[in-house]
Amino acid sequence: MAQAVAGAIEKKSVLLLEAGTGVGKSLAYLAPMILRAVKENQKVFVATGTKTLQHQLMEKELPFLRKHLPVDFSYSLCLGAENYLCERRLDAIEVASQTKPDVYNRKEVEALLQWKDRARNGLRSELDFHLSPATWFQACRIPELCAGQDCGRGGTCFHQRARRHIQTADVLVGNHHLLFANLRADWEYLPQCSYLVIDEAHALDSVASDCLGIEFSHRALRRVWEGLRGKDGEGCLVGSLHDLSLDQRQSLLNQVMTVEQKFNETIHWFHAGVLNGKPKVQVSQQTAELGLSHFIEPMSDLVSALKMAGRKILSEEKKIECEGYSKRLERTLLEAKEILGMAPSSPWLLWCEEILPRSKSPTEVQGTAAFYATPIEPGEVLQEKLYPYFETTVLVSATLSTGGDFSFSQSRLGVEEGRGDTLSLPSPFDYESNLRVYAPDHLAEPANHDAYIADLIEEIEPLASASHGGVFVLCTSFKILDALYEGFIEVTDAEPWTPSMRTRKRSRDEPLLVLKQGDASREKILEVFKNSSRALLFGAATFWQGVDVPGRALEMVIITRLPFQVPDDPVLEARIARCRARGGNPFNEIQIPHAVMQFRQGLGRLIRGHADRGVVAILDSRVRNKPYGQVFLDSLPVPGAVHGLEEILEFLKSS
């Protein structure tokens, strides 16, 4: 694998590298990249999909290589702006909190002031006490509100200190989102890097669609409105512009509230008039124009008013804030005008989706929508704007091919034929001895929902009871997840987990502990699962990938349904239409490869070490009864090896 990376460096090409668990992917791509970068006085950027891998690189792989490689090198973690405390903003809210306790949490502000003096890097992840998201946002660095080199606190600024370190480091580690934020900003945030590694690249096209697209929603501008108008005109920028007369401040505040109302009316119109009860719909250019044109003129006037206010006031900090908020609204205007100017043949998709409230909080906007402009084929953007920026790009994952064929990933990731090489390396683990696969052929099809759920519960119960360790039940929707969770609790003596429970090891004689995604943060759910010995976790999308539970803590993965994308997803519909237009077969060229790669990601949660043993249960009989099912079976680590229930139970008994 390292030789393939070295070869890509020599050829200045793009390499798609698939390597199974246990190969040592990180060391294999880092070593040749670092050796060349140091020799040529260049930099390497490693983009990951998860914090777990970032931590592994920073705490394990890079220190190991610095100790053993024959060259000296430095490395740095790159994080987004809002991860850093801003001392200037913290000092401002300290003063404001003394007179506006209903806007600022005085107790939390004082705790943050004390923490600042002992903080190593000023990162939110370093906080050693509970802090509400609202207080952190009031004190963290916001790019539009940052004075940059003009800030008087440059010597102690946590973010500027981190940037200085980044400028001198040989290896930079960040996430996919930071990579695309840098791309959108014309490479403003990071120093020039010659070599790029994108690890966990199986998720790259999805992240690219999100990051390179445009969004109009309440959540997109909520913090702008809150910062400008505050609560009843208090604790906000407009209310603090004391160089303006009271009438001028009130007039500006009224203008802010009018534009906010116009923007919200647009979002409500998309929700009530365009979605009309549907979760997602494509939107025509004409419909988009009707909606977006509603707020463009008043928002443009507000931008001008904020700029004028900034010129009138004496406070440098308030000038920075006026300029920052006007820039943010100006960006929204440019994005709206960009959509209005799109040609009918544009490779961008306009669509809308319903946004459901995440909590019962009265401040949570109920029944709202988001409007998007998304590149239909993000690979085309990567091909045009990402890969040419680097001398060499290596895309790495355990799942980039279908049956050894990389064509789907090459298309999705924009790797031109002739410019990119591919390599697939199997895992060194002994799957034949340590893995068993159960795939019954008699279960009801998912379309028959009630019978399907009943059959699943009947299958899951004996499998979970026989397991000595933990069990993941991977679902493709929260509807299925909730139905299975409730049904399983009802027919077994399993004990549902609650946040008030003390985490402890469970013996074989105790009831199985059952956890459900959504009952706590993913990190908390995983922590409880790993430390409970015998637990069953019902999880959806985020548990299919990027989760590492080695050893006996995870002994079984149950896949409840083949992970096909929802067919009425607007982006998928647009890709299918494009495929058909060129005479292709969307099911074979798009839907099957995507589902197989997601399926393999789910399988990959099991067997994370040489000594691990476990069972994969595929409780979707289409894998046995449909012609395309063989493609999934052939993608198993031991292709086609399916066992009966008795064999599975005997294997678990002998574990």
- Each residue's pLDDT tens digit, 60-69: 999 999 999 9
pLDDT for position 546: 84
Look at residue 328 and tell me whether its pLDDT is greater than 90: yes
| Tens digit of each residue's pLDDT (9 = 90 or more) over 281-309 | 999 999 999 999 999 999 999 999 999 99
3-state helix, strand, coil in the chain (%, to 5): 50, 15, 35
Contact 253, 229 (CB under 8 A): yes
Q: Which residues pair with 369 in a beta bridge?
A: 354
pLDDT for position 358: 52
| Tens digit of each residue's pLDDT (9 = 90 or more) over 123-134 | 999 999 999 998
Domains of the chain from N-terminus onward = 2-74+169-194+390-425 (3.40.50.300), 81-155 (no CATH), 217-375 (1.20.120), 431-654 (3.40.50.300)
pLDDT for position 309: 95
pLDDT for position 541: 86
pLDDT for position 179: 97
Confidence of residue 360 (pLDDT cuts 50, 70, 90): very low
Confidence of residue 420 (pLDDT cuts 50, 70, 90): confident
Q: For residue 15, which amino acid is it?
A: L
Report the alpha-carbon distance of residue 499 to residue 497 in Å, rounded.
Answer: 7
Percentage of residues of the chain with pLDDT beyond 70: 97
Confidence of residue 362 (pLDDT cuts 50, 70, 90): very low
Report the alpha-carbon distance of residue 171 to residue 181 in Å, rounded.
Answer: 19
Confidence of residue 137 (pLDDT cuts 50, 70, 90): very high
| Tens digit of each residue's pLDDT (9 = 90 or more) over 503-544 | 888 877 888 999 999 999 899 999 999 998 889 999 998 899
Residue that has been written with the tokens 């950027």 in this structure: 45
pLDDT for position 364: 46
| Tens digit of each residue's pLDDT (9 = 90 or more) over 239-272 | 889 899 999 999 999 999 999 999 999 999 999 9
655 or 542, which is more confident: 542
Q: Which residues pair with 32 in a beta bridge?
A: none
Confidence of residue 365 (pLDDT cuts 50, 70, 90): very low
Classify the C-alpha dihedral 338-344-347-349 as positive or negative.
Answer: positive
Look at residue 361 and tell me whether its pLDDT is greater than 50: no
Report the alpha-carbon distance of residue 55 to residue 51 in Å, rounded.
Answer: 6
pLDDT for position 356: 77
Confidence of residue 639 (pLDDT cuts 50, 70, 90): confident
- Alpha-carbon distances, residue 321 vs 352, 448, 555 (angstroms): 32, 56, 54
Look at residue 232 and tell me whether its pLDDT is greater than 90: no
Q: Which residues pair with 244 in a beta bridge?
A: none
Contact 538, 484 (CB under 8 A): yes
Q: What is the mean pLDDT of residues 97-103?
A: 82
- Please state whether the predicted TM-score (pTM) of the whole model is above 0.85: yes
DSSP 119: -
Look at residue 108 and tell me whether its pLDDT is greater than 80: yes
Which H/E stretch holds residue 519?
none
- Tokens standing for 390? 């680097």
pLDDT for position 524: 92
Contact 423, 1 (CB under 8 A): yes
Residue that has been written with the tokens 């959108």 in this structure: 184
Q: Which DSSP string do the residues of 463-491 spell out, in sequence order?
A: HHHH-SS-EEEE-SSHHHHHHHHHHHHHH
- Tokens standing for 193? 């890097």
| Tens digit of each residue's pLDDT (9 = 90 or more) over 441-468 | 999 999 999 999 999 999 999 999 998 7
Look at residue 415 and tell me whether its pLDDT is greater than 50: yes
Look at residue 363 and tell me whether its pLDDT is greater than 50: no
Q: Which DSSP string do the residues of 126-163 spell out, in sequence order?
A: G--S---HHHHHHHB--GGG--GGG-TTTTT-HHHHHH
Look at residue 234 and tell me whether its pLDDT is greater than 70: no
Q: What is the mean pLDDT of residues 556-580?
A: 95
| Tens digit of each residue's pLDDT (9 = 90 or more) over 401-412 | 998 899 999 999
Q: What is the mean pLDDT of residues 641-655?
A: 89
Whole-number mean pLDDT of the chain? 92
